Amino acid sequence: MHAVLTGFLPIWTITALGWLGGRHHLLGEGAQHVLGRFAFTFAMPSLLFLTMSTSHVADLATAGVGVFAASLVAVFLVGLALSRWVFHRRQADQAIGAMSAGYVNSANLGIPVAVHVLHDTAFVIAAALFQMLFVTPLILVLIDLDTHRGAGDLWARMLRLPFRNPVIAASAAGLVVAALGKGDRLPGELTSTLHLLGGAAVPTALFALGMSLNARTRPSPAGRTERRVLVTLKVAVQPLVAYVLARYGVGLHGHALFAVVMCAGLPTAQNAFIYASEYGLDTDLPRDTVLLSTLLSMASLSLIAYLLA
């Protein structure tokens, strides 16, 4: 339990500081939007480029990562379907709802939990790589297709998307560097600058998330139901699906099984809130899902550790 709490403490502290700063207007009007844009435009792309440039796509070719990917995709599709046909969201918000249900916080929470609980970061890094390579582009494409609907030729717009979206552009550039085998040979002046910018991604996103709590209003009954469903998918259904697939589908056991289920049980990443904010979508749903799933996963991850460690 203590090891899990160690990973959560920085998240709650920075979010609380963001709430405090917004409550007393310490950063002035519009600070939340500016911080969100900074994270999306500069900090996250820097972090993603550094991660991708030293990545090994071959690390994804394991049974454990395959099971994690299958559990994420399954829950993502369920979240997408529910957002469309049950909660009647527009396409862009459907993508955010599905992301809230299945996209795990593999970076600022996954890595500390992996260090303190799994004693090995290899699996969570591979899981993060899968999300960045396949899930993030899908989400941003779904959002872009809706928010720019009718804005010229569809295929031309899709071809320009990597150049218009800093998250996709930075990831693609990092993959090119990795494919060329140059990830460890980049100039120190460049990598040190990117490390500084990338290091600001998580705290900036969490601070903006905390500031948004000051504008929180009580959701409607349907909104509360939607939040409960998405949070349940994230903290209960996704790790359960991962367990069944890993244990009975591919026969994983011991530490390998533990790693898959623990990673699948991580709460919603704050990226969902940042993406919604950047595209002018409903930020209340991803904000509440991030906070509720993070709170509840303290108990669910501790239970997973107790049962499987």
Q: How much is the pTM?
A: 0.88
In tens digits, the chain (309 residues) has pLDDT values of: 566 667 778 888 899 999 999 999 999 889 999 999 999 999 999 988 998 898 888 888 899 999 999 999 999 999 999 999 999 999 999 999 999 999 999 876 787 778 777 877 789 889 999 998 899 999 999 998 898 776 666 667 666 766 778 988 898 899 899 989 988 889 999 999 999 999 998 899 999 999 998 987 889 999 999 999 999 999 999 999 999 999 999 999 999 999 999 999 999 999 999 999 999 999 999 999 999 999 898 889 989 988 987
Domain ranges (residues) in the chain: 2-308
Please report the pLDDT score of residue 221 as a whole number. 94
Q: Which long-range contacts (CB under 8 A, 24 or more apart) does 126-130 make?
A: 126/59, 126/60, 126/62, 126/64, 126/65, 127/65, 127/68, 127/263, 128/51, 129/51, 129/52, 129/55, 129/57, 129/59, 129/60, 130/60, 130/65, 130/68, 130/69, 130/72
pLDDT digits (tens, 9 = 90+) for 66-85: 999 999 999 999 999 999 99
| Third-level CATH fold of 2-308 | Na+/H+ antiporter like fold (1.20.1530)
